[in-house]
Amino acid sequence: MSDLPPTHERLSRPSQSPGLVRYFTLFMAVLYVALGVSLWLVPAGMLRLGETPRQLLAVIFVFYGIVRFVRTYQQYFKKDRHEA
């Protein structure tokens, strides 16, 4: 059939080269923060959301963007102490 290892072996193995994925996840984190900030600053009449739901959604986007940024940084960019 095929020379590929079974799926469970391929999924348990860490990726050898994260490459573009790490920069894309950083970009998405910044995009979520920017979306939250823009929701916070947009005038109330531009969206069909009340003041409180709009601000709550903005806070959620900013918080989620920060969490994604920190997790991405720790996963892809922070040097492991054992490697140094």
Of 76, 67, 69, 82, nearest to 18 by C-alpha is: 76
pLDDT value at position 8? 75
pLDDT value at position 1? 55
Whether this prediction's pTM lies above 0.75 is answered by no
For residue 84, give both structure tokens: 């140094």
Distance of CA 29 to the CA centre of its chain: 4
For residue 1, give both structure tokens: 């059939």
pLDDT value at position 80? 63
Report, in this order, helix, strand and coil percent for the chain, each rounded to 5. Answer: 70, 0, 30
Profile the chain (84 residues) by mean pLDDT over runs of 10 residues: 72 69 93 96 85 94 97 85 54
